[in-house]
Amino acid sequence: MIDGKKVLFSGMQSTGSLTLGNYLGALKNWVTLSDDYECFYSVVDMHSITVRQDPAELRKKARNLLTLYIAAGLDPKKNCIYYQSHVSGHAELAWILNCFTYMGELNRMTQFKDKSAKHADNINAGLFTYPVLMAADILLYQADVVPVGKDQLQHLELTRDLAQRFNSIYGDVFVVPEPYLGKSGAKIMSLQDPTKKMSKSDENPNASIYLTDDTDTIIRKFKRAVTDSEARIKYCPEQPGISNLIEIYSACSGKSFAEVEAEFEGKGYGDFKLAVGETVADTLKPVQTRFDELCKDKAYIDGIIKENAEKANYYATKTLRKVQKKVGFPERIR
């Protein structure tokens, strides 16, 4: 608890450009939560280097991501928006937690299996212990809730296990966090392969809608979206492509699946895809406008980066000192 409010932590990697999946599955929900919780929203740049990055690009993407958090509606005065790499406590707690994590637990992580298949030439130890750093992110701020997409539930389960394991040895040190899954848009799929999630690291730019795509690009990508030949607009497992578009349309328009099906009853895929494209473009427009404005105000963004890193450091250090004491590290002499 901070000032009587429950604590919320979440983060996104600064790899690639943010997609509609990130927006509907994460960012949009974050904004609605920021009144009810004391929120920490991190740009997890330390996680990003588990796969090879170009340094200048990484720096730029991290800044864009932090700016997009604000453009999407997160108020940086109310929410702690900061770079993970500016708070050394993340790495320090991760090390300690590493010593409480079993190889078998990490071996079971599906994201590790997927990413090692994708980056077979660079299966580094950081990729393997990635979930431990994520656990450190969350536990460092004593977070009660963690909004994530379904793909991250396994990592959150590990975080809970680590917190409970640590607490059972040393007493109540960590809050055991709960996942928070948003109501709609929980998992947006690739437009080119609707059995795969839409991901910012997908090599095919037509598979994802980026938050910075203009209206024409958005409409073109939806026109090309892979669907089926059933020719009916119905949400069902046999039609993953169309179901994904219904999910997107529903999340952007606020209409239920049944309402969407009724609206497009008897209409063709062409009409539906155009409507989805237009609705998505309308949803993203205000975010894009605000992003462009914010990018011009360097001093404002710099100020937020500095202030919020200090705030994050304050809370992180509080937990870290407690943990260091529990595991038996010598006291600091002042």
298 is catalytic: no
The token pair that represents 281 in the structure block:
């473009």
In the block, residue with structure tokens 């002499």 = 333
127: helix, strand or coil? helix
How far apart CA 294 and CA 41 sit, in angstroms, is: 18
DSSP 151: G
200 is catalytic: yes
242 is a site residue for ligand LTN (CB under 6 A): no
187 is catalytic: no
User: Of 133, 131, 141, whose CA–CA distance to 8 is shortest?
Assistant: 141
| DSSP codes joined into one string, 239-275 | -HHHHHHHHHHHHHH---HHHHHHHTTT--HHHHHHH
CB of 108 to ligand LTN, least distance (A): 16
Give the per-residue contact string, 37-76, with ligand LTN (x = CB under 6 A; - = no). Answer: -------x--x-----------------------------
User: Of 111, 133, 128, 165, whose CA–CA distance to 9 is shortest?
Assistant: 133
How far apart CA 305 and CA 309 sit, in angstroms, is: 6
CB of 90 to ligand ATP, least distance (A): 16
Q: From ligand LTN, ligand ATP, none, which one binds at residue 29 (CB under 5 to 8 Å depending on kind)?
A: none
How far apart CA 48 and CA 149 sit, in angstroms, is: 18
- Closest to ligand LTN by CB, 9 vs 264, is 9
192 is a site residue for ligand LTN (CB under 6 A): no
19 is a site residue for ligand ATP (CB under 6 A): yes
Q: From ligand LTN, ligand ATP, none, which one binds at residue 188 (CB under 5 to 8 Å depending on kind)?
A: ligand ATP
How far apart CA 26 and CA 187 sit, in angstroms, is: 10
221 is a site residue for ligand ATP (CB under 6 A): no
- The site for ligand ATP (CB under 6 A) is made up of 12-13, 15-16, 19, 21-22, 25-26, 148-149, 151-152, 187-188, 197-201
Enumerate the active-site residues.
115, 197, 200
- The site for ligand LTN (CB under 6 A) is made up of 9-13, 44, 47, 134, 137-138, 146, 148, 152, 155
